[in-house]
Amino acid sequence: MRITDLLSKQSIDLCVSLGSKSEAIDKLISLHKQAGNLSDVEKYKAGILAREEQCSTAIGQGIAIPHAKSDAVKKPALAAVTVPKGVDYKAMDGQPSDLIFMIAAPNDGDVHLEVLSRLMQMLMDEQFKADLVNAKTKEDFMGIIDKKEIEKFGEVIKASPKENAYRILAVTACPTGIAHTYMAAEALEKAGEKLGYPLKAETNGSGGAKNVLTKEEIANCDGIIIAADKTVDMARFNGKPLISVPVSQGIHKPEELIKKIIDGNVPVYHSDKAVQDDDMGGKEGIGRQLYKHLMNGVSHMLPFVVAGGILIAIAFLIDTVMGAPQDANFGTATPVAAWFKNIGDFAFKFMIPILAAYIGMSIADRPGLLIGFVGGYLATLGSTFAAPGGDIPSGFLGALVAGFVGGYVMLGIERLCDKLPHALEGIKPVLIYPILGLLFIGVFMCAINPIMGWLNNLLYSGLRALGSNPSTIVLLCAVLAGMMAIDMGGPFNKAAYVFGTAALTQAAATTDTAAQTTCYMVMAAVMIGGMVPPIAIALATTFFKKKFTAEERKSGLVNYIMGLSFVTEGAIPYAAADPARVIPSCVIGSAIAGALSGLFGCTLMAPHGGIFVFAVVGNWPMYIVSLVVGSVIGMALLALLKKNKE
């Protein structure tokens, strides 16, 4: 926000004569009132006087800046007077004040601090201050400030003052809600600050929505940026200029997105689908739509996978420590292990219905939740017409079909119901949609479960075959681990991770030991592939400092923690700064680590956790060796490919 945005001709008076500090305060408050900045003059004055009681706001060298935050202020504003003969404002240097600004700030926000900071920096220039005192007209006074502000802080887009300090709002979200979500929010907020357009970003992270946008902020903003790879709540933005892009563009192109809003090149949002900007990735194609719906399901499924998987892994660890035989009862042989195994299994049983439910909800909003949830549950049971209670489970694959088909069918049901009389509007979501949706998904899943169950069994057979052939399992592990490093949290990374977690669900659903072992080897390769990039970068910043800037070296230490915790996204800033060198180095390092993990027969029963779940890794010494070798190779390639930084 510009200083001149807060000034108006009505709030400026030049060459006035004031006899005392109290007279000066009254004069400036009257200017605020004249400009329409206050709803309650006496209340605001009480705030000014309370601030002056703490200590005088005269800062010396002829300058005073009284200020107060109050709910009596309608909008952030400034008043200003020049007093050529000066007035005793009780400055610490004992000198009279000949230039006085008064800041009026509402309670919601820290506008007065931002303005105070800018004014202080500008008023350090004695010539600037003298020019203001000698200004002959109000236009000259504002022009001098405008010129100096551009000179000091660069060209800033003008913005008309509003009660809400935020001119642009954003929502960021990635499927896992860990790193990309917060990186995009930070990039957008920093870019907004740089461009002089205050921006607030709501983060839809793994812990829920934070920094949530209020109705007042939405009503007052100039536009909204949605940087998300999963579905977010859009209905609240109806009637506002809105641009929707992948979360990666929020990280890499924040200034471009903000300038789109500033320039007015963003359509107004009126429908149930986000408007895509042509220059920011083009119209939303069917592939991206499907990806967003899938990631919405995956993001809600992950907590069940991670928590349930780790508890199951703990059960196996307990039985191992207790010396239980690794037979069909392994994981439940001891009472304590059985408790952990049962709780973990309960979480796993919710996983597939949750996946289908939130895919359906992403497509058809709330009506899609029922159809997806029931469809996912029928997939786990394997319901057929002959055996509605369960016969041929279709598992993960059946849940995907249930979520997508159910969601789109529900959209069709909603459109058909639009033709019903308006009097039935109230019962549609609670009666008509659920009954029609439930009938459809029941018939549909009973029809396709035999087909999807056959495909599921085919997948089991394939995994069993891979596990019996060392060369094929090593190749599969290398490919999956390499995919984890291609885009470090993007579609390739998520595809590999979803494949790994799906393998865990298959392991839990079968008693075939060979297939289970192969599934656990797949998960081990996926996790090690995600750990290598941050660790390789951390090692490179430690041992090859000349290849990185000072800021990159400082952040390198954090990557040790992120890598060991299986948070691949720690490598993103480095990959974004130098993709041609960083990404190939990380992919090769990860692929080698994955291949070695498969070669050594390392297994992992937990879907997340990094070093914190190494206790449940099968053949953990060689797993550590694989991780070290892959990370060192990645580091060596970075040192070889990257050029020295000046």
Q: Give 599-639 pLDDT, tens digit per residue.
A: 999 998 888 778 878 888 889 999 999 999 999 999 999 99
What global pTM score does this model have? 0.55
State the amino acid at position 541 in one-letter form.
T
Mean pLDDT score across all residues of the chain: 83
Tokens of 28: 């400036």
Tokens of 207: 């812990």
Is the same domain home to 519 and 445?
no
Q: Which CATH number do you get for residue 183? A: 3.40.50.2300
| 174 belongs to the catalytic site | yes
CA distance 585 to 597: 18
Is the same domain home to 475 and 369?
no
Tokens of 292: 């967003």
Residue with tokens 């006035």: 16
CA-CA-CA-CA torsion for 244, 249, 250, 251, nearest 10 degrees? 170
Contacts of 168 (CB under 8 A, 6+ apart): 192, 197, 198, 199, 200, 221, 222, 223, 224, 225, 258, 261
State the amino acid at position 484 in one-letter form.
M
| Of 132-141, 146-155, 275-284, minimum mean pLDDT range | 275-284
> 229, 259, 284: which is the final residue of a domain?
284
pLDDT for residue 464? 62
Q: Give CA angle at 164 (160, 168), nearest 5°.
A: 75
Is 98 inside any structural domain? Answer: yes
444 vs 290: which has the higher pLDDT: 444
Is 162 inside any structural domain? Answer: no
pLDDT for residue 160? 40
Is the same domain home to 181 and 85?
no
Question: Half-sphere exposure of residue 299, counting CA atoms within 13 Å on the CB side?
Answer: 31
Is the same domain home to 602 and 617?
yes
| Of 464-468, 478-482, 532-536, 557-561, minimum mean pLDDT range | 464-468
Signed CA dihedral, 585, 586, 587, 588: sign only = positive
pLDDT for residue 319? 83
Residue with tokens 């007209």: 137
Q: What is the pLDDT of residues 44-60, one digit of tens each?
A: 999 999 888 888 888 78
Query: From the candidates 32, 67, 293, 608, which is the catalytic residue?
Result: 67
Signed CA dihedral, 55, 56, 58, 64: sign only = positive
State the amino acid at position 515 in one-letter form.
A
Residue 117 pLDDT grade (very low, low, confident, very high; cuts 50, 70, 90)? low
CA distance 453 to 396: 10
> 153, 176, 196: which is the final residue of a domain?
153
Say if residue 574's pLDDT is above 50. Answer: yes
CA proximity to 367, closest of 429, 319, 426, 276:
429
Is the same domain home to 597 and 527?
yes
CA distance 229 to 335: 43
pLDDT for residue 477? 92
Is 99 inside any structural domain? Answer: yes
Is the same domain home to 255 and 273?
yes
Is the same domain home to 566 and 635?
yes
- Give 167's DSSP letter: S
Q: Give CA angle at 323 (317, 325), nearest 5°.
A: 95
Is 345 inside any structural domain? Answer: yes
Is 163 inside any structural domain? Answer: no
b/e code 306-331 from CB counts within 10 Å (16+ = b): bbbbbbbbbbbbbbbeeebeeeeebb
Is the same domain home to 55 and 18?
yes
637 vs 284: which has the higher pLDDT: 637
111 vs 72: which has the higher pLDDT: 72
Beta-bridge partner residues of 104: 68, 77
Is 567 inside any structural domain? Answer: yes
97-105 and 63-64 strand pairing? parallel
Is the same domain home to 299 and 187?
no
In terms of Cβ atoms closer than 10 Å to its own Cβ (0-12, 13-18, 19+), residue 131 is middle
Contact 310, 321 (CB under 8 A): no
Question: Half-sphere exposure of residue 323, counting CA atoms within 13 Å on the CB side?
Answer: 0
Contacts of 488 (CB under 8 A, 6+ apart): 533, 568, 569, 571, 572, 575, 586
Question: Half-sphere exposure of residue 564, counting CA atoms within 13 Å on the CB side?
Answer: 12
Is the same domain home to 497 and 350?
no
| Of 32-46, 99-113, 584-598, minimum mean pLDDT range | 99-113
Is 292 inside any structural domain? Answer: yes
Beta-bridge partner residues of 244: 226, 276
Q: What are phi and psi of 275, to 5 degrees?
A: -80, 130
Domain count within the chain:
4
77-87 and 12-13 strand pairing? parallel
Q: What is the DSSP string of 565-620?
A: TT-GGGGHHHHHHSHHHHHHHHHHHHHHHHHHHHHTT-EE-SSS-GGGGGGGEETH
Q: Quick one: average pLDDT of 475-495?
A: 84
> 414, 442, 462: which is the final residue of a domain?
462
Q: Give CA angle at 131 (128, 133), nearest 5°.
A: 110
Say if residue 159's pLDDT is above 70. Answer: no
Q: Quick one: average pLDDT of 189-207?
A: 83
Map residue 62 onto helix, strand or coil.
coil
Q: Give CA angle at 242 (239, 244), nearest 5°.
A: 140
Q: Quick one: average pLDDT of 517-533?
A: 92
Q: What is the pLDDT of residues 374-387, one digit of tens each?
A: 999 998 888 888 88
Query: From the candidates 32, 112, 174, 293, which is the catalytic residue?
Result: 174
Q: What are phi and psi of 149, to 5 degrees?
A: -65, -40
Q: Quick one: average pLDDT of 445-462?
A: 80
462 vs 204: which has the higher pLDDT: 204
CA distance 321 to 615: 11
Number of residues assigned to the chain: 646
pLDDT for residue 179? 65
Contact 571, 559 (CB under 8 A): yes
Q: How far from each other are the two terminal CA atoms of the chain, in whole angstroms?
A: 35
Is the same domain home to 221 and 179?
yes
pLDDT for residue 317? 81
How many other C-beta atoms are found inside a 10 Å radius of the C-beta of residue 386?
Answer: 9
Is the same domain home to 273 and 231?
yes
CA distance 454 to 461: 11
Helices (H), 382-428: 395-417
| 67 belongs to the catalytic site | yes
* Residues spanned by the domain of 173: 168-284
CA proximity to 376, closest of 364, 391, 393:
393
Is 120 inside any structural domain? Answer: yes
Say if residue 111's pLDDT is above 50. Answer: yes
